[in-house]
């Protein structure tokens, strides 16, 4: 079967994102023919490349359009308009999950637990007074923790105003202010459509985090950049963060987290696969803080590791995602 591996233009730039080669290798091992198509700013060129490839299905890894993550859903919409089958979520699912404020409104309407929040436009502070410190301030339409730093967690009104103003200037957009859940952070992958399967829980372990910084998955903590003054050295937050399979959780709490993850996946109408990020208080209260419908599928990433822990090695995971998408179109 001929498959197009669709990806963002930046993923193919040196050094190439390893996930591209890994997915392509898995597909070829599964006896598929693979052609890569890059999503650049020239829409007509993208359309021409897709039509020339004439795939049976598109394996959609595009997380942005022209470097803008807020336009991710437009890529899936383009595939719909071209009548192409593809893996992953629909434009509606990508749009709802891609805007953190919209995500939380949908989750709240569906009674999925998520922290209280407010969307703040420049000069307008409606509803912020109803929130309880500490708070975390985020750009609502960025992914990969872009815009989140150790200063994102604020504990008084002065810090709140300063951080909001900084983010609004940087991203030229409203910001989302959310009650910060003190506790541990977990990732739960979800795989499937008719009966979605929650994968084993992974914890983002902050135990070696700098003591003077809030335990939050900042851009530096995830990627090792942004906190070293441009020196190129690994930052303290990155060095102090690792993802692990926790061994001290009760079966009841694990099930609760997995159930909430599946509920969030369904509430946002996601398809095939996705990852739900959770915070859990010391009292065991579970909150959804973010949902990633097009999560990173690289072998060493949390989703693939959780799948492997569930007995689904990387090649089988790629095949399973493909099968799930094909089954949707055959119903």
* Domain CATH for 286: 3.30.470.20
Strand partners, 219: none
- Please tell me the predicted confidence (pLDDT) of residue 211: 79
199 and 140 share one domain: no
79 and 172 share one domain: no
- Please tell me the predicted confidence (pLDDT) of residue 221: 53
Q: Is the pLDDT of residue 93 over 90?
A: yes
- Please tell me the predicted confidence (pLDDT) of residue 125: 66
157 and 189 share one domain: no
159 and 69 share one domain: no
Establish if 270 belongs to a structural domain: yes
275 and 309 share one domain: yes
325, two tokens: 């998408």
Q: Which residue has the tokens 């369904």?
A: 266
15, two tokens: 């050094």
Establish if 80 belongs to a structural domain: yes
The mean predicted confidence, pLDDT, of the chain is: 90
Cis link prior to 15 (omega < 30° from 0)? yes
Is 276 in contact with 291 (CB distance < 8 Å)? yes
The span from the CA of 187 to the CA of 316, in Å, is: 21
Establish if 104 belongs to a structural domain: no
287 and 304 share one domain: yes
Establish if 172 belongs to a structural domain: yes
200 and 294 share one domain: yes
Establish if 30 belongs to a structural domain: yes
CATH of residue 43's domain is 3.40.50
**145-154, 189-198, 281-290, 321-330: least confidently modelled range:** 145-154
Average pLDDT over every residue of 189-199: 98
191 and 284 share one domain: yes
16 and 70 share one domain: yes
Q: Is the pLDDT of residue 12 over 90?
A: no
Q: Which of 68-82, 115-129, 212-226 has the highest mean pLDDT?
A: 68-82
Q: pLDDT of 287-308, one tens digit each? A: 999 999 999 999 999 999 999 9
Backbone phi, psi, residue 280, to 5°: -125, 125
The parent domain of residue 130 ranges over 113-179
Establish if 193 belongs to a structural domain: yes
Establish if 227 belongs to a structural domain: no
Final residue belonging to a domain, choices 86, 105, 121: 86
Does this model's pTM top 0.75? yes
Burial class (CB in 10 A: 0-12, 13-18, 19+), 118: buried
DSSP 17: P
Q: Residue 47 contacts by C-beta under 8 Å, 6 or more apart in sequence?
A: 78, 82
- Please tell me the predicted confidence (pLDDT) of residue 229: 33
Q: Is the pLDDT of residue 233 over 50?
A: no
Establish if 103 belongs to a structural domain: no
- Residue of higher predicted confidence among 126 and 319: 319
- Please tell me the predicted confidence (pLDDT) of residue 182: 93
314 and 200 share one domain: yes
146 and 40 share one domain: no
Q: Which residue has the tokens 């359009």?
A: 65
What proportion of the chain, given as a percentage, has pLDDT over 90? Answer: 73
Report how far apart, in Å, the C-alpha atoms of 111 and of each of 60, 260, 264 are.
Answer: 30, 10, 9
The span from the CA of 123 to the CA of 198, in Å, is: 41
Number of domains in the chain: 3
269 and 318 share one domain: yes
């Amino acid at each position: 079967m001929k498959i197009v591996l669709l990806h963002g233009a930046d993923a193919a730039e040196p050094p190439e994102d390893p996930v591209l080669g890994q997915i392509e290798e898995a597909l070829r091992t599964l006896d598929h023919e693979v052609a890569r198509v890059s999503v650049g700013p020239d829409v007509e060129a993208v359309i021409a490349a897709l039509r020339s490839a004439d795939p049976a299905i598109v394996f959609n890894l595009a997380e942005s359009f022209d470097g803008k993550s807020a336009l991710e859903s437009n890529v899936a919409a383009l595939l719909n308009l071209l009548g192409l089958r593809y893996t992953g979520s629909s434009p509606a699912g990508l749009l709802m999950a891609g805007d953190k404020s919209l995500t939380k409104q949908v989750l709240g309407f569906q009674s999925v637990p998520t922290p209280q929040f407010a969307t703040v436009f420049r000069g307008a502070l409606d509803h912020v007074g109803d929130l309880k410190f500490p708070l975390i301030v985020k750009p609502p339409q960025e992914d990969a923790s872009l815009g989140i730093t150790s200063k994102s967690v604020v504990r008084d009104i002065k810090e709140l105003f300063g951080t909001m103003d900084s983010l609004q200037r940087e991203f030229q957009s409203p910001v989302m202010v959310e009650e910060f859940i003190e506790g541990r952070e977990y990732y739960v992958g979800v795989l499937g459509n008719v009966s979605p399967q929650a994968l084993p829980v992974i914890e983002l372990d902050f135990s070696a985090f700098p003591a003077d910084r809030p335990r939050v998955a900042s851009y530096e903590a995830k990627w090792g950049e942004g906190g070293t003054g441009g020196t190129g050295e690994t930052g303290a937050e990155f060095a102090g963060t690792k993802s692990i399979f926790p061994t001290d959780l009760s079966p009841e709490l694990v099930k609760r987290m997995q159930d909430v993850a599946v509920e969030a996946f369904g509430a946002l109408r996601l398809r095939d696969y996705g990852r739900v990020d959770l915070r859990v208080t010391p009292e065991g209260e579970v909150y959804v803080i973010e949902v990633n419908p097009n999560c990173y599928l690289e072998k060493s990433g949390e989703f693939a590791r959780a799948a492997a822990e569930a007995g689904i090695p990387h090649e089988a995971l790629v095949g399973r995602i493909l099968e799930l998408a094909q089954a949707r179109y055959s119903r």
